[in-house]
Every structure is written in structure tokens, then in C-alpha cells.
Amino acid sequence: MKRLFRLSFSLALFILCTAFAQTVAVVTPYLAQPGTQFMVEAFEAAAKAKGWTVNVIDTAGDVAAVISRIEDVVTQGVDAIVINVDPAQVAAGLASAADANIPVFGMDAGTDAMLVTNVTSNGYAMATETSSYVVDRIGGAGRVVMFVFDAYPPVQKRGVVADAIFGNYPDIEIVDRITPDVSDGGIADSRAKMEAVLAANPDAGSISAVWAAWDQPALGALQAIEDAGRGAEGIVIVGIDANPQALDAIRAGGNFEASVSQDFNGIGSTTADLVERYLGGETITQATVYVPTTLVTGANVGDFVSQ
Amino acid sequence: MTRLGRLTRRFGTLLGFLIVILFFWFNLPDTFMTARNLLNISQQVSMLAVVAFSMTIVMVMNDFDLSVGSMASLAGIVAALLFSQGSSVFLGVSAALAVGLLGGLINGVLVSLVGILPFVATLGTLTIFSGLAFFVSGGKTIFGRDIPAAFSGFARAGLPLGTLNERPLLLPNLTLVALIVLFLVWLTLEHTTFGRRLYAIGGNREASRLAGVRVRLLRLLAFVLTGLGAALAGLMYASRVASANPTQGAGLMLDAIAAVFLGMTMSEEGEPHVLATLVGVLILGVLDNGLTQMQVDSYVREMLMGGIIVAAVASSSLGKQS
């Protein structure tokens, strides 16, 4: 009991001391995911440099709790809120923030009219990087297998760009445009699909490249190609996201040659900068702010080991 | 035992709840004890409340239903899938509630007629309902245009109570639903023969049977009601997040059991009562709200909440031994 009051007194003092600096709440259900962790840590570091108080709230996968926690920090009267969750699912929370005139920023969240802006990577640009890489590696001619997922808008964007770039080369033929079953994580089914494609195209050189809209199908295709004993045919595989498994594969120097790394640290610190600009009175006109991504190949894969 | 001892034992949890409220009031003088924040908390706990109230019905008989969380997810998915195929809100909601009834019936049959321990039977159905939710949804979240505005708008609307600081003050619809469920469960458990017999079964199942209580039928019906309540909570959740995901109700089950246990510490006989469950739910909700406002780290918040539950149950249990 006594201890409770002592704790409350010290907390009250603490709150009094920090009452005059900017207070920003970061709310996400996904803090356990590495990408989110990098973003949040970079945001916290940037905010600390600006002298803000940051309250990071993780609801451990519970999206309704994100709404509740947004309502709580609105009641608390924070200066700004940053979310890392699909804005459409937390519209009730965004509405309560709007009622109280508290700005909400998306950090890799999705574009929404109720957000000041959303900071993320450009899916079109990432797909441009890997499709151009494939075109250059096969000299603008050859047979390409594509792995896409048009049901999920952020990945659908990538496929559209690859279609356009490959379509611009009359000597590039799309052997198959495969949508893998992702319920098992995407690797196993992509591998099975790739095995079928290899069986249907048994001649060495009949497949020039595999373009995958994200890393899992690329890894599945890599397994299929290696297990079929066709690793030496020079089939070029590319993915997107540069997940740790993909980085390992690129480092190993086999068929998996390239992927794209999102700059999660950059997304975090850029979000902090945008919050600062907005609170400083600037109008943010872009509904989405893109942070540049980096093509990862054998040449620079060493730079990405730590991520 | 002294009179004072008996009082602290009975009202220790309530006293603890009051201390928690005073603590937040003292630390958050401007924002905690406001009409808006309290209404806000009532809305935040409404889904948990409905699950906990329904859970109280089976816990009265010393039974459990571990499947409520996955039933809530499944109900949300069923409604959302029907919406995405163009069904009306009425049809989607009815179908989801029917799934709840059916799931509860399955639990009831397994526990009451087949005679499987509730822990094992509902652990099994937990897995089945969860698998079914993944299967019918393909593992995807259903959201956006698939969810009709009339459905998602329900959770964002409420009864106007007036205006405060030039913003309308609403009694949220979700709070209203929880209050209605509270009233119905209270009426059923405390003021019907059915409810009193459930308590009798909880007291001594064999004696109740020998006294002519139709134990099997009543247990079965109790599980049906719990399934229905879980489905309703799943619909409330789906409406609040304007989407349905095959795992979204999973967190409700343990919190609901915790709330009922917290409530049980307030009863002389250690029986669950739905009004006491309400106090348990409010303790959890107020802690979540207050600790968030005080910027306590999410993980510390979780540990504190677990610690408070254990402390409450421990103090009540020690009180009973002395």
C-alpha cells in the first residue's frame, strides 16, 4: 500500500517533469516482427535526439486493442500518434484522434485519408530494381518464371511493374505466372510449383530466370532447382524484402542472386522527421512518403548481415 | 474469524479495485476520471465482458469453456465471409450466432452426454473452431469494402448523452450490448430456477442429480449459452475493427477466465457471480487504460496485470484459510 503511493508519487513527479516536451505514442500489434522492431527503434532514437517522450505500445497481435490504446493516448492528450497497422482496421481509433485534433502518422501502415501521411517503401520501385536486374543478367532475352500474389495489394503492385518491364522486351517469354499457396509460409508450395515447371521444361537452358514478388517463392524455387540438379544451368533467381534466409542464399553465391532491402531504420527516422515538421506547423502534402530501398546482390550483401 | 477479517476477505478485491481507481485518479487528475474516458473504458472492455459473462454461466457449475476465443474468431469470420458474398447484415449476424449456438451445442454434448472433462473437450473444440476459421477464410483477413458500413458503423455509434467540450458524448453501442448481456445473464443465473440449479450442480453434482435436477440437460444448455455469448463477442470485435481475422478473438479466453476468477474472490463461497465478474472485467480494463495513459511499458503492464490477478486470488485464498 505504502509502496503503491510511493510509486505513484514518483510517477507523478516524472510526468510533471516531462509535461512540457512533445509526447508521441507509437502503437502497433506487430512489435515482435523484426521489421517493425527496426522501425520503432530508429523512431525512438530520432525522437530522443529531438527531446521527445516516446511511449511504445505493443498489443501483441490484438488489433482491437490497438483501437483501445489509441483512445487511451488520445485521452492522455499526446501530441502525435504513430501507428504500424492497417489503418482501415483501426478506423474507430483514428476517428477518436481526429475528434481530439491529434495527428496520426503511418509508419509502414498503409495510405489512409485519416493519416497525415504514411512512410513506407515503394513497391513499384522495388519491383523495378529486381526486374531490371533480371533483364540485364539475361541480356534482354530468355524464358522467365514469375511468382506473384495479386490478392494482396502491396505485392500486386510489384507484379504489375515486373509485367511491364518484361513486356517491354519482345525476346523475353513468360513461361508461367504462378500464384503460390501461402498458407504454409510460401516456400513449400512455391517449391512444388517450381518442380512442376522444371519437369515441364526439362532441357538445360529452357528456363533463364525466376522473378519472385517476395523472397519466400524465390527460396522455394531455389530449392527446387538445386534438388533437380539444375543449379549449374545459370538460372537467375531474384526476390524482394531481403529476409535473413534470402541474404544467406545470396551470400552463398548460388542461383539466388538478388533481392531488395527495405530501409526500416530510414522509415523510422523519416517518420520522426515528418512528425517534427508537422508539429512545427508545416503542411504535409504527400499522402505517402517513400524511403529509398537498396538492391542487394553478392557485391553488397556483406553490408546487410547485421539486419 | 473476526468480523473485520471476513469483510476484507469478501471485499478485498473491491477495495483493491477502488485503490486502483484512486491511484489513477491521483496520477492522471485531468484525464482519468472523466465521463469520456469512463465511457471509453466501458467500450474497450465490452467484448471481454460479454465473453466473461458467458463464461460465468459454465464456471458456476465448476466447468470451463476454453473454446470461447476461437469461437469468437470463427463467428467474426463467418459473418465477414457472408458479407463479402453480398449477404445482408441481418443474415451475416444471424449465421454467426447460429454457429455460436452450434459450437456451444457440440461442447455441451461432449461434456454432458459423452462425459469428457470440459478442459479436454473444449481444448479440442478450441483447436477445431480455430482450424475451421482458418480453413473457411483461407487464413486471410477480411476487411475493407467487404464489410458493410452498417456493420462496422454499429461499433462506432452510440446513444447521445449530450455534448462535452463541444464534442458529442455517446454511450457506445458496444457498451449497451454488454449491459444487455449482463442483465440477461444476471437474470438467468440469479433469478430463474435454471440458474439456481446450475449453482446447485456446481455445489454438488451428484447430490443435485439425486435431488432430481436434470444435470445433463442443464449442463448442455449452459454450454450452448456460453457458445452463443462467445459468438456475439466475436461479432462485436469484428464490428469494432471493421474486419475479421481467424485469430482475432484468441486473447479473450484467458482474460475472461481471469475476470471470473477475480470476481470469485468476492464471494463468500468462492462461487462465480456475474456482477462480481463485471468487477473483474473492469479491473482488467481500468488497469489497461490507466497504465497506458501513464506510459507504462506494454510488457511491464502485462506483468503487472498478471501479478495483480495472482495477488487478488492469493489474498482471498489466504483469507479463507485463516
Listed by number, the residues of chain B in 167-186 with a beta carbon closer than 8 Å to a beta carbon of chain A are 167
Pair B185, B56: CB distance under 8 Å: yes
Tell me, what's the ipTM?
Answer: 0.80
Length of chain B: 322
Residue A100 with chain B: CB contacts under 8 Å = 167
Say whether B23 and A62 touch across the interface (CB within 8 A): no
User: Smallest Cα–Cα separation from A233: which of A299, A295, A143, A168?
Assistant: A143
Contacts of B243 in chain A (CB under 8 A): 63, 86, 88-89
Q: What is the pLDDT of residue B75?
A: 97
Would you call B27 and A8 a contact, using CB atoms and an 8 Å cutoff? yes
Residue in A8, A77, A86 nearest the CB of B31 = A77
C-alpha cell at B202: 456446481
CA angle in degrees (0–180, nearest 5) for B245-B246-B251 = 90
Please give the pLDDT value at position A16.
Answer: 46
Determine contact: B297 vs chain A, CB below 8 A.
yes
Assigned superfamily of A123-261: Response regulator (3.40.50.2300)
pLDDT at B191: 96
C-alpha cell at B165: 467540450
B145 touches chain A (CB under 8 A): no
pLDDT at A283: 94
Name the grid cell of B128.
477445431
Quick check: do A2-120+264-291 and A123-261 share a fold?
Answer: yes
Enumerate the domain spans of chain A.
Answer: 2-120+264-291, 123-261
- Chain B 49-108, residues with CB within 8 Å of chain A CB atoms: none
8 Å CB contact of A91 and B242: yes
Please give the single-letter amino acid code of residue B310: V
> 3-class SS at A108?
coil
**CATH placement of domain A2-120+264-291:** 3.40.50.2300
The mean pLDDT values, 10 residues at a time, for chain A of 307 residues are 52 48 92 86 96 93 92 94 92 93 94 94 96 97 94 86 97 94 80 93 95 95 94 95 92 95 94 96 94 95 74
| End-to-end C-alpha distance for chain A, whole angstroms | 45
pLDDT of residue A149: 87
pLDDT at A214: 93
Sequential DSSP letters for A285-298: --SEEE---EEE-T
A56 touches chain B (CB under 8 A): yes
Q: Give residues with Cβ within 8 angstroms of A230, minimum separation 6.
A: A198, A204
Instruction: Write down the pLDDT at residue A3.
Output: 52
Contact A183 B27 (CB under 8 A): no
Å between A65 CA and nearest CA of chain B: 8
Give A59's contacts in chain B (Cβ within 8 Å): 298
pLDDT score of A17: 44
The one-digit pLDDT tens for each residue of chain B (322 residues) are 566 666 666 778 888 899 999 999 999 998 899 998 999 999 999 999 999 999 999 999 999 999 999 999 999 999 999 999 999 999 999 999 999 999 999 999 999 999 999 999 999 999 999 999 989 988 778 887 889 999 999 998 999 988 887 778 889 999 999 999 999 999 999 999 999 999 999 999 999 999 999 999 999 999 999 999 999 999 999 999 988 988 888 889 999 999 999 999 888 888 999 999 999 999 999 999 999 888 888 888 889 888 988 888 887 777 766 5
CB-CB neighbors (< 8 A) of B242 in chain A: 88-89, 91-92
Q: Would you call A76 and B293 a contact, using CB atoms and an 8 Å cutoff? A: yes
**3-class secondary-structure state, position B62:** coil
For residues A274 and A296, give the distance between their C-alpha atoms in angstroms, rounded to a whole number.
Answer: 27
Provide φ and ψ at A236, rounded to 5°.
Answer: -90, 125
Number of helical (H) and strand (E) elements in chain A, helices listed first: 10, 12
